[in-house]
Amino acid sequence: MGRFDGRRSREAVSYEPASVKELLVEMKDTAELLIDLSYSAVLHASPSVAREVVELEHRMDVLQMRARMSLMLAARKPSEAETLAPVLGVVAAADKVSDAAGDIAKIVVEEIGLPEAMRGALTEGVETLVRGTVADDSPYDGRTLKEIDLESETGVRVIAIRREDDWILNPGAETRVERGDVTLLRGPENGVGEAYPRLTGEPFEADEPVEPAIDDLERAVDSIVLMKNLSELAVDLAYGSVLFDNEELAEEVYNLEIEVDALQSRFEAWTLRAAKEAEDPVSLRGLIHLGVATEEISDAALEITEGVMRDIGVHPVVEMAVKESDEIITRTQVRRGSDLAGTRIAAGIPATEIATSVLAIRRPEEGWLVGPDLDTTVRAGDVIIAKGTRTSAGEFAELAT
């Protein structure tokens, strides 16, 4: 896993006309889902979710090959080759993210070693993630997600669908569910217990939590959740820095990489101390693999930003495609006395009329807050990473100053 296997080497890939920007966006979405699924497979000890990481790796390989083909066709003279070189680096870095996610999934598939009580140490805020195949007689077959209204009824979201070899990432309200679809569901355990049988025709059986045999295992699990969140954010910001030629976003990826390195070092130290007390130290070997793979993901995210940090610029092919997109990622520092200071975050959106979603906050004294909850209040000095329209981004920046 994470390497070229026989199945992938036999798969033919032909050129298909596609926007370089669209390919990069799909690679970004695929990389984020790979990270999400691989860490979730570890946290929930789920081989079925881990195997979907393998399937998604195949998709990433195809995207990389097509991106290379499109970039080769776009380069017609030396000056264009210069601005395309960093984009080729982005494609190569995506392969590293994919490999690292595969290595994380391998911990579960190959039973490299994890504490049995990992799932039992999860906090209540960590949602369940399961894989389920839509049954032939499912009441959801042939209906859109809007018609099913799964999230309103059960709190469960369909985060991705695999239909044979094709993937539907970020399925929307009009996405139709079909028999045979492999769905990835995320939500509260009781909601999954309600939705899963309707979807698959099989009962949902959650494993009984095991009492931790290692002191402070909850702290290790919290670290893994933080690693996952920081890694996803680093990849998101790295691609955003390239797509929008934004040096400020690239600098935040650098800040995240430093944070992940420090977190990985503390996590590794905890694992070594825990191994000293564990009856079977080999059972913790997977945690060492997890820390190494996490650092590889953050390093790859930093590599994605290299062209932006070197001020090489973005190739016109990418620049023109970006102009077609109204949604952008921004970095905004909250000034003292601004309208944003003291504003409370509600469901990821500031309590204003602006349609901007807050992804994360970097707080000088506390570090990174990823996915701020309802109780988070914006402070002067906070650096806010947000996603929204170009218009709302401008208004948001005014509120912060």
Does the structure show a pLDDT above 60 at 114?
A: yes
CATH superfamily of 325-400: Regulator of K+ conductance, C-terminal domain (3.30.70.1450)
- Please, what is the average pLDDT of the chain? 82
What's the confidence (pLDDT) of residue 143? 93
CATH superfamily of 128-200: Regulator of K+ conductance, C-terminal domain (3.30.70.1450)
Question: What are the residue ranges spanned by the domains of the chain?
Answer: 20-121+211-321, 128-200, 325-400
Question: What whole-number distance in Å separates Cα of residue 308 and Cα of residue 256?
Answer: 16
Identify the residue with better confidence: 318 or 2. Answer: 318
What's the confidence (pLDDT) of residue 16? 65
What's the confidence (pLDDT) of residue 206? 74
pLDDT single digits (tens) 123-143: 656 788 899 999 999 999 999
> Which band of pLDDT confidence, cut at 50, 70 and 90, is reported for residue 17?
low
> Which band of pLDDT confidence, cut at 50, 70 and 90, is reported for residue 5?
very low
What's the confidence (pLDDT) of residue 138? 94
Q: What is the mean pLDDT of residues 329-341?
A: 87
Tell the burial category of 278 from Cβ atoms under 10 Å away from its Cβ (0-12, 13-18, 19+): middle
What's the confidence (pLDDT) of residue 8? 47
- Poorest-pLDDT segment among 76-80, 222-226, 251-255, 337-341: 76-80
- Poorest-pLDDT segment among 8-12, 100-104, 172-176: 8-12
Identify the residue with better confidence: 49 or 353. Answer: 49
258-267, 278-287, 303-312: range with highest mean pLDDT: 258-267
Percentage of the chain surpassing pLDDT 70?
A: 83
Does the structure show a pLDDT above 70 at 314?
A: no
What's the confidence (pLDDT) of residue 298? 93
The reply to whether domains 20-121+211-321 and 325-400 share a CATH topology is no
Q: Under 8 Å CB-to-CB from 135, ≥6 apart: which residues?
A: 141, 179, 199, 200, 201, 202
Does the structure show a pLDDT above 70 at 6?
A: no
Q: Please state the φ and ψ torsions of residue 128, each to the nearest 5 degrees.
A: -80, 145
Q: Under 8 Å CB-to-CB from 51, ≥6 apart: which residues?
A: 105, 109
Does the structure show a pLDDT above 60 at 9?
A: no
CATH superfamily of 20-121+211-321: Phosphate transport system protein phou homolog 2; domain 2 (1.20.58.220)
